[in-house]
Structure formats: structure tokens, C-alpha cells
Amino acid sequence: MLATCLLAVAPSVRAQNCSTWSNYDLRGTYTTSGSGWIDLSKLASGLPSGTIPMAWVGAETMNGLGQGSGWVAVNAGGVQLSIQLVNLTYAIQTDCSVLISYSMKIKELSATIGPVSRILAIGARGPNMDLYGIQAGGGAGMPVDVMSKHRISMEY
């Protein structure tokens, strides 16, 4: 019985072939959210020291040519931060991963940190594309977190 069930779904669980995809296939506006850990004291003096939990939401737009922009609202241990994503670049790979890089302009600190690099995985293709990612640090003050993006529009 189990073997029959597995054979029935086998065609739907095959690996995606992304060899013909381009940055244009990722164009659009995405909502994004995530959570993780950060040490705010590494970003600016006077902020709390030690690793604290954080959560965030935001939106970003990818222009189909490998560039984009966005914003993020962060709550890090009760500290609210408003972040603008600048110098955002992305590139789809033949293995269906997406390499993305950007710097974070933090309004409350009058500082820009980065660039931050992430690797994303494509979870679903089509108008409602989902992307999933992880950031494992990357220098002083950089968060360790997981995130997801959901395309809400193919316009940019």
C-alpha cells in the first residue's frame, strides 16, 4: 500500500529543472518575514549586549534584471528598527537556488551595514512563487535567521 502511494506521487516530487529560468522569472513584489537572533551591541554602542531574539516583516521588489529594493520592520528584543534594503542584487542559479545580496540602511542608527548575502530556495513556481532562505551571520552585528518570501504581484 505504501509503495503504491509513493509511486502515485512520484511525478510531483521530481526535482525542478531551473536551467532555463532567468532573473526575469523572479520579477515582482514579495512579502517577507522571518525570525532569528542578533546581538545589537555589535551594530552600535549603547544598545543591549548579548544575543536576543528578533522577528521581522517587510516587502521587496525584484525588477527581473537582477536588482531590487525593499524595506523591513524589525523587533529585536523590544527595540524597533526601520530598515531600507539598498544595493539589492539577485541571481538565479541552475540548481534552483537564488543568491541575493543587499545592505541595510537602519534609520534609527543612521547607519548602513552589509552587504548581507543569503541563499534562497524556490519553493513554488508561478504567480504565487515562494522563496525560503537562511542567513548564518556574516560579520559583526549580522543576524542569524530564517525567512520566507511570498510573491504577491508579478509587477515591479
Which option is the CATH number for 20-153: 1.10.3470, 1.10.287, 1.20.120, 2.40.160? 2.40.160
Domain spans of the chain?
20-153
Q: Could you say which DSSP state residue 95 is in?
A: T
How many other C-beta atoms lie within 10 A of the C-beta of residue 116? Answer: 18
Give the closest residue to 145 by CA, choosing from 39, 67, 11. Answer: 39
12-69 pLDDT tens trace: 444 567 778 899 999 999 999 999 988 888 877 788 788 889 999 999 999 999 999 9
94-132 pLDDT tens trace: 888 999 999 999 999 898 988 888 899 998 777 888 999
**In the predicted structure, residue 82 carries a pLDDT above the cut 70:** yes
Sole residue written with cell 537564488: 98
pTM for the model stands at: 0.81
From CA 96, how far away is CA 29, in angstroms rounded? 19
From CA 142, how far away is CA 38, in angstroms rounded? 7
C-alpha grid cell for residue 141? 552585528
